[in-house]
Structure 1
Amino acid sequence: MIMSISLNQHICMELFGLLLIIACVSPFTTHLIEQQQFAMEPQDQVAVVGARVILPCRVLNKKGILQWTKDDFGLGTKRRLVAFERYSMIGSDEEGDYSLNIYPVRLEDDAKYQCQVGPGQHGEHGIRSNYGTLSVLKSPDPPKILQGDYMVTTEDHEIELECVSENGKPAAEITWIDGFGNVLTAGVEYIKEPSPDSRLSTAKSILKLKANKALHNKTIHCQAQNSADKTYRSASIRLEVKYAPKVVIDIIEGALDTGRIPLDNAIRLKCNADAHPNELTYQWYIKDEMIIGATFSELDIPSVTRKHQHFVVKCEAQNEVGLSAATETLDVIYPPSFIQRPENVESEMGENITMTCLVDSNPKADIIWVFDPIDRMNFQPRVVGTSSTLHLIASNETAGRYYCKAHSSGFTEISSEALVILKGPPKIISRAQQQPLDTDTYEIECMAIAVPKAKHVSWAFNGVLIDVDKDLGFSLRQDVLYDRIKSTLRIEENHRSRFGTYTCTVINKYGSDTLEIVFNERRKLPIIIIASGSFAISLLIIAICFAICCCCVRGSKKRQLPPADIIPKVNHQQPKVKTNSLKKKDLSKTEIPATVTVEPEYQESNSGSYSTTTTLSMNKTDLIGSKLLSIPPTIRYSGPLTEGFTDSTNQSITGSYVDFSRDYYTPIHNASNFLIQSTLQQGETPTYV
């Protein structure tokens, strides 16, 4: 008996421990249950009465019961919805597809639908899809003109036509078309009314117009259509009108045979009216604005400008019977001008680029794109496009300068340019050896080319990161330029302990570059060397002065004048000498020499501690007679400038290397300010690039 009680207690203890383990583990295992979720949900749709509509619903790991609701009313849980014979759930359970099929669609199907799945037996949560709204459309009835299909009227008599289209969803849009195919908008009143079935609408359009000779034997059309129709439905009525004068406008002076008008021309228009009786009065309009005093059969416009393009000129002629009018649209030819110029593009390798160049001209300009590559050693300028947009893929081969050139017949070609620049990691171009500018200024410069712009610049001294916010011995200044950044580290304590190795690191989104800069004190020349140099310079100056004096003495001995009494009386006035200087206003009368010497002006400026910029300035008018070429594009150098290399012009350049894919570009500039000189051959004409 005692053993039986002990065994029961042992079993109870084990069951209690098992329940305790389950209770502890269950909170950590509930998240492992695979939940129900939608792979596809219903979306808003538009359908026409009689069409088929499928509202998608696909469920992953379906565990619960699925049903569709219409305006939150359940339709049933079986695939064949018995209570709704036009509704069914298509698809298969294996695919988890429970899409709702509606056929044929009726007006009462206009509602919002939702796919719902109840909770599963193992704790899966129930889910509801987005609402999908089904908008049902219905074509309207064919339109009718209430006045019939035939009407007799007289000129200047106002008539009223009414067109009706019933039972449309939405209401029909009604358009009036005159006998010439023009859409009539003036004098139109549109009315929308509900039909007996409140879901449908009736549309009415009332057209009020004044009859004239132009409408005689012409048919007016009423067209009705809504978004459920693929084509218009129409009704028509033929008008019989007693006519007024017939008017035609001709351009009798100032226009070409084609009817086009050259810019700045004076033109004369004539209003020709065929009427009976022939006693007529005239009135002219431009852009529907009456011209005061223009009451004759001819109209003069003294000067046609670009703004006159597409101006509508109207002439009205009237007799005792009535009034009629005619119009003429001016077609002005003018040179091309840019509406939108191409812009510089900074792009990643492999990225799609679209460049746009929009030009306004009449006649329409022909556009070409000319690509001037960076690497002219392997690629030459070439035409790469002939439309207003140019599509490229960024690469080393497509990086460079692009010219959009537009030519309109009879006018000078215009051109605009833009650059395609590749993005990449930064490149530090500062010197690895730097010294203080003076005893009071301890500054270290770190200049880097970065496209896109650098995000961060850090400094370290002898391997220890510098925090300028906490270390009062340093301050930092950063200058951000278009394609580069200059970070200047200033040492506040001018002490020998601050000399050493500084590390500059520049980071952008494509990578980083690091340069170790050795900062040491400026060495002073010994006093003996300075004194010796000064003495040598003094001796050199004395020798030069002695040589000049000797030359002057020899020249004076060779040119001795004869005695005063035998010198003949002659006019010692120096003859006038023609110079090669050419003024702009004398170009048509002056012979252009084969070679013109240009004295360039140089200007130097210092930027920072160790950079000097020399600017060459040439005046365009000083180079008349020389062949003018654009200076090669600016080269951007990457890396420490410690070694020399030769560029495409065989000029020695100090630097380590050039990354043509990103470090070489030329800012857009006016080519007339950057010119070089060469010698013209006989008969050549100066060319501006």
Structure 2
Amino acid sequence: MALGTMLKAPLLLLGLLTEGLAQLAIPASVPRGFWALPENLTVVEGASVELRCGVSTPGSAVQWSKDGLLLGPDPRIPGFPRYRLEGDPARGEFHLHIEACDLSDDAEYECQVGRSEMGPELVSPRVILSVLVPPKLVHLTPEAGTMIPWVAGQGYVVSCLSGDAKPAPDITILLSGQTISDISANMNEGSQQKLFTVEATARPPGPPVIEWPGLDEGHVRAGQSLELPCVAQGGNPLATLQWLKNGQPVSTAWGTEHTQAVARSVLVMTVRPEDHGARLSCEAHNSVSAGTQERSIMLQVTPPSAITILGSASQVENKNVTLSCVSKSSRPRVLLRWWLGWRQLLPMEETIMDGLHGGYISMSNLTFLVRREDNGLTLTCEAFSEAFAKETFKKLLTLNVKYPAQKLWTECAPEGQKLRAGTRVRLVCLAIRGNPEPSLTWYKDSRTVTESRLPQEPRCMQLGNVEKSGSTFSRELVLVTGPSDNQAKFTCKAGQLSASTQLAVQFPPTNVTILANASALPPGDALNLTCISVSSNPPVSLSWGKEGERLEGLARPEFLGEQVLVVTAVEQGEALLPVSVSANPAPEAFNWTFRGYRLSPAGGPRHRILSSGALHLWNVTRADHGLYQLHCQNSEGTAEALLRLDVHYAPTIRALQDPTEVNVGGSVDIVCTVDANPILPGMFSWERLGEEEEDQSLDDMAKISKGPTGHLQIHQAKLAQAGAYQCIVDNGVAPPARGLVRLVVRFAPQVEHPTPLTKVAAAGDSTSSATLHCRARGVPNIVFTWTKNGVLLDLQDPRYTEHTYHQGGVHSSLLTIANVSAAQDYALFTRTATNPLGSDQANIQFVSI
């Protein structure tokens, strides 16, 4: 019992102190100089007491000290009429006798013996005389003896005051002869030092209190784990607690804390949607209660908006796909919106249906055109509502867009380059992107190339695996050329795409035969001899000799009509500048000059002069583009020719203003400038990266190209034309260049007016909070302002908090009002959206629930 503990503590302390001092009593062997020593004594106020002192050396001067004050050797002790020394001094008896003890006698005492011829100075151990003072005052409230009517079931306070006692009094309050143990007591100082006053109060058990977590009492979410403590203060015995749900017991477990006179019970439950409207009650009673005290809470359950997306995440590009987003039963109903990456998509249809437990099911159908650029993007369906403005529920779907390779090409020896039989040739097939990843297959003519070696082709052929680097896939075919490869068509295929190259392999004849028109003839007749060689490339040049001497005439070098004057090569590839010259004797030297510098006949890091005089270049760069001068010489004369190397390279976008901005109704050019060779008239094309198929049309825009610059002209710009555009430049050298540019159409704010949000209701009890929403479109960014009944809202007021969000051309402002007051906040709130092109506004009526 709390009171018993509080009131008995002083007595316990005094008892310990007394017990501790009692240990100083004279032991069996009395100290030298004393035959009797004083002891700690306790006496009730008004009684007499005697402190003993026996001295072994009679004749010495003996006196007592009280709290250090010497009382003197006079047996009558002047100044202390109730004090005297008792006993026979001749026998060493000097006992201190005190009549009618009172609180002033409560002190520490010593028996002191002065130095004399008979012995030394002596001092007895210090002892305590404790004087007990009974209570002198007892006062009952209500006043004892009075008749006061009490109402059954009500609680009343009874107090008892008792004071000026030592130690502090222990108060007991009886009800019809039975002790009320559950009382509280306060102890204070009395009218004098060492006296105490105690006031004890008896109370009935207090009503139970449910400690609700959070601010919104009763508001919970389905699936939430709820822990509700119920506390009842006081009562004797302490209260018995139980929990009821809709009048039915659900928990009868409780515990008590006697030191604090508290009964406590904790209800643990998982909230379900069907608990909406359930009444949770905590009841408290004890054996002497006139009735049961109860505290109840009504549950308001908001089921979770679990979301499901119906439809496949795997789609083929450039196809319209329809997906549905469905929420589980929710209260209040939720709104659904779609996002693809950072871009919001507009649904085709929205439906609200009745759900379980008084909730609503929301469904949103979305149809949009899937493009390859959407591959890997996250499609999000988001549910939101006023009931949970600070949180949203999302379902995510990662799109897997299937599309063929964007571009397929081969890298090998330049088209038309002559390759000697036995030369090691590397053919590479390359493809950009593609989902699923493209599988690259090589064909020779119509036959699939494999690692196996055919009997008629006893040579090496190595086929590599498909490799990936970034978004580029490649597969290499390495072969040693032979006669069967001449004019053979090597093709690489990836799905419906294919790229081919044809090899020109030079090989010598394996046999030469001379045929005569007669086997025998008389002298003087003519004989026709024919020289025949088997297949070779290029065709062999046949010459005749007689007895080791060549039969032909002398001639200076002369370029033939088949001499190639322009050679085309691709950057990073190879180039062969061929020589077709006739001379007898053969030219002694072939000298090549480029931009005034003579190329070393011995070769260099990227060039070699072949025995035929042809110039072979590799790792060609655009810096190699230009005129090459060839000088041939023999003993009969010289000849010169100019050959031009035209190096082609893929386009590179040099300038593209992103973003390009225009006001609604204005005109603008999206300009795309590239560096490329060759520059073709139709190499520029434009694409619109829109959501709907009709958005892709560029019919209302003019497409103009001038040399390396392409223009997309837009007149009378409309909001629907805003978005991403792609400049694509393809001059036949892979890969094409692509540049993304955003067209921003600036327009004045347009505030959305969703019907469910034109009125917002909340309790005006200064404990609730509410959130007002404002959503507007506009470019450039919008600034929001709020007014209440036409007066600008002071956002420095801690009750108002604004959060602003900007996402592209969509802007949102959320105004949260804390501690809603009916007097201050039930008003007409106006939201205004402003940017440099204008402003727009809408009203929200804030009303009571």
TM-score scaled to structure 2, two decimals?
A: 0.26
**Greater relative CO (CA pairs within 8 A, separation 6+):** 1
Structure having the higher strand fraction is: 2
Larger radius of gyration: 2
TM-score scaled to structure 1, two decimals?
A: 0.30
